[in-house]
Amino acid sequence: MSNVYFGAARQGSLSAGETLPCKLDLILDRLRLRDRVQGETVAPKMHLGGNVGYSTIHPVFVRRVVKAVRDGGGAPFVCDTSHGCQSAAERGYTAETLGCPIYPTGGLDEKHFSIHRREFLNIREWRVGGAIQEASFLVDLAHVKGHPSCGFGGAFKNLALGAMMGPTRSAMHDTNQFERYWFPERCPDGETRRRIVESCPLGALVPDRDKPDGLHLHYEPCNQCGRCLRVAPEGALFIRRENFWAFQEACAIATHTVLSTFQPGKSVFINIANQITPVCDCFGFTGMSILPDIGVFGSDDIVAVDTATLDCIAPHMVFADGLPLEMEAQPDAGHPFQVIHGPYKDPYKVCEYGESLGLGSRRYELVDVMPARRPGRAGAAYIPAAQP
């Protein structure tokens, strides 16, 4: 069982000391980050977002991590994909605001990487960014949000995609195309194919560009509503869990590959669950929040930190009014991230796969670093508020 240190977004009183940046400090203390980074080259890996997005991790948080590393005698550099780094200053991320340099994980043109050979479905090799590989200590600093491929993005997703180079990221997204789902011999009629395409309200099914009798399923917008299956002839089209889960398994393998470049005990995992939007920060904009702010989580165990984050989100209702009108909530689909992305995008799958690869444990103890308490100003002789 692993410890997951938690600071809730909810405050007991109107005090700066009870807000998330200060609770992050307490979590860094509990992780003993300062004691562990003496002489280390430390990579806080985060998602710097893109374009006009402003719900990525605020520099206030990043700066506290960087300061803790410097206080402990480490040499920090924040890193992300080249895409995220090149426009980072537009969103407030500079060496001055963060307190350390910002480097693209694979260099500006993503040509600085190391190749790890490992077969999984369509993938033969995994290209890990050279800057990550060269760091001796990792701080996985992840913003928690929904994700159209796997339901949710947290500590796993931050490394799985963000530490890999473009060709690997693309191949990972193609894993859900690996198992066949369209059988044209069962649907030779073009008019029926047109009706199948039109049955999808989310635009997830389109004619295949390369095959006249083919259909292509975009897994990202598909919420598994099943409308297309009502139109398709039997056996022509399949919407299978396994196709959706392939991406999650790829994320676990990618993360395992990245973490294999660090010595045991040389990585910590932090999830910041605020401004939780429906889709990934890659989209380059910030929509409305679809869940309440939850808090900050930190652990030495990536499986435990993502599991605990998902468990703390699970009891909350999705703010349906926060969803873009083009998305469709399914209230009975399960976890809030399944409500917005569909039942087969089970956000826990990446934790299951990660645990099976030996990356950590789904059993954890949640340690609240500052439980919220109601201020005890009113005593036994409490006088109810008067109506004005």
Only segment of 39-47, 112-120, 219-227, 277-285 that touches ligand SF4 (CB under 6 A)? 219-227
Q: Answer yes or no whether residue 222 interacts with ligand SF4 by CB under 6 A.
A: yes
230-249: contacts with ligand SF4 (CB under 6 A): 239
Find all residues with CB under 8 Å of 229, minimum gap 6, and list them: 237, 239
CB atoms within 10 A of CB 376: 7
CB of 218 to ligand SF4, least distance (A): 8
Q: Answer yes or no whether residue 8 interacts with ligand SF4 by CB under 6 A.
A: no
Give the H or E element holding residue 213. Answer: none
Distances (CA, A) of 69 to 59, 229, 272, 295: 15, 53, 18, 22
Closer to ligand SF4 by CB, 225 or 251: give it. 225
Only segment of 31-39, 216-224, 272-280, 314-322 that touches ligand SF4 (CB under 6 A)? 216-224
Closer to ligand SF4 by CB, 134 or 174: give it. 174
CB of 229 to ligand SF4, least distance (A): 7
Distance between CA atoms of residues 84 and 80, nearest Å = 6
Give the H or E element holding residue 291. Answer: none
Q: Which of 56, 82, 224, 255 binds ligand SF4 (CB under 6 A)?
A: 224
Question: What secondary structure letter does DSSP report for 207?
Answer: E
Only segment of 30-38, 134-142, 195-203, 208-216 that touches ligand SF4 (CB under 6 A)? 195-203
Instruction: Extract the tokens encoding 277.
Output: 């939007």
Q: Answer yes or no whether residue 205 interacts with ligand SF4 by CB under 6 A.
A: yes
Q: Which of 3, 149, 168, 223 binds ligand SF4 (CB under 6 A)?
A: 223
Q: Which of 4, 164, 200, 369 binds ligand SF4 (CB under 6 A)?
A: 200
Only segment of 157-165, 224-232, 250-258, 279-287 that touches ligand SF4 (CB under 6 A)? 224-232
Closer to ligand SF4 by CB, 46 or 222: give it. 222
Query: How many chain residues are in contact with ligand SF4, going by CB under 6 A?
Result: 14
Q: Which of 41, 114, 199, 361 binds ligand SF4 (CB under 6 A)?
A: 199
Closer to ligand SF4 by CB, 192 or 199: give it. 199
Distances (CA, A) of 193 to 119, 153, 183, 215, 371: 34, 34, 11, 8, 56
Distance between CA atoms of residues 85 and 101, nearest Å = 11
Find all residues with CB under 8 Å of 140, minimum gap 6, and list them: 45, 155, 158, 159, 267, 268, 269, 270, 302
Find all residues with CB under 8 Å of 382, minimum gap 6, and list them: none
Closer to ligand SF4 by CB, 182 or 269: give it. 182
Q: What angle do CA 170, 161, 49 make, to 5 degrees?
A: 105
Q: Which of 9, 89, 95, 202 binds ligand SF4 (CB under 6 A)?
A: 202
Q: Which of 30, 67, 83, 227 binds ligand SF4 (CB under 6 A)?
A: 227
Distance between CA atoms of residues 297 and 313, nearest Å = 12
Q: Given the rule CB under 6 A, which residues bind ligand SF4?
A: 199-200, 202, 204-205, 217, 222-228, 239
